[in-house]
C-alpha cells in the first residue's frame, strides 16, 4: 500500500482528500502546515505528498525547497493541490521541482489521474 501525506491547513480539505485517497488504496497521513509536513517526511518519507500552497508557519513552496535540501534519500513525489490556478504559480511550482499540480476544486478522477501520472497509483 502506498502512503500519501496530505498537507493542508483546512481540516475539511484533508478529510475530503483522505476519503478519496483511501478509496484509491492509499495509507493517509496528515499535516496542517509545511513544518509539520517536513517533520513527518523526516520521520518516514511517504510515497507522495499532496501539498497546499498557502499555509501558516511554512508555505507549500517553502516546504518543497526544504524537502529538496533535507537529505532524505527516497524523496516523495510532490503534487501541489491548491486554489492558486494562475499560470505563473503553476510554472513556479514546476521550476521548484513539483511533479504535478492539482487545481482546486478537485474530484476523485482528477486526483487519481494526477497520482497515476506521477506513478504512485
Partner 1 sequence: MLGPQQSFASPGAVNVIGALLEQRTGQQIAANRAWRIETALKPVLREHGLDTLDQLIARLAGERHGPLADAVINALLNQESSFFRDAGVLEMVAEAALAIQAEHPGRRLRVWSAGCSVGQEPYSLAMLFEELAVSRGLAMPEIVASDVCPQALVRARAGRYSQFEIQRGLPVRRMVSWFDSENGEWVVRPELAKRVQFRCHNLTRDPAPVGKFDIVLCRNVLLYFSASVRRSVFDTLHAATRDGGLLVLGAGETVIGQTEAFRPSDRFRGFYVADSGQASLTRAAVR
Q: Cα dist. 100→45, 48, 94 in Å?
A: 18, 11, 8
Q: Which is nearer to partner 1, 29 or 114 (CB)?
A: 114
Nearer to partner 1, 14 or 114 (CB): 114
Q: Which is nearer to partner 1, 20 or 98 (CB)?
A: 98
Q: Which residue ranges make up the site for partner 1 (CB under 8 A)?
A: 85-87, 90-91, 94, 98, 100-103, 106-107, 109-110, 113-114, 117
- Closest alpha carbon to 81 in 62, 57, 58, 107: 107
CB of 60 to partner 1, least distance (A): 15
In the bound state with partner 1, the residue whose beta carbon lies nearer, of 3 and 110, is 110
Secondary structure of residue 9 in the 3-state scheme: coil
Least Å from the CB of residue 17 to partner 1: 15
Amino acid at each position: 500500500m502506498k502512503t500519501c501525506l496530505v498537507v493542508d491547513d483546512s481540516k475539511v480539505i484533508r478529510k475530503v482528500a483522505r476519503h478519496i485517497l483511501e478509496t484509491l488504496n492509499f495509507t493517509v497521513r496528515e499535516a496542517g502546515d509545511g513544518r509539520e509536513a517536513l517533520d513527518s517526511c523526516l520521520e518516514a518519507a511517504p510515497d507522495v505528498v499532496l501539498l497546499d500552497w498557502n499555509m501558516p508557519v511554512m508555505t507549500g513552496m517553502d516546504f518543497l525547497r526544504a524537502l529538496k535540501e533535507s537529505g532524505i534519500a527516497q524523496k516523495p513525489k510532490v503534487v501541489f493541490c491548491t486554489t492558486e490556478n494562475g499560470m505563473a504559480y503553476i510554472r513556479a511550482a514546476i521550476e521548484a521541482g513539483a511533479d504535478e499540480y492539482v487545481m482546486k476544486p478537485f474530484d476523485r478522477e482528477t486526483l487519481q489521474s494526477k497520482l497515476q501520472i506521477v506513478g504512485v497509483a
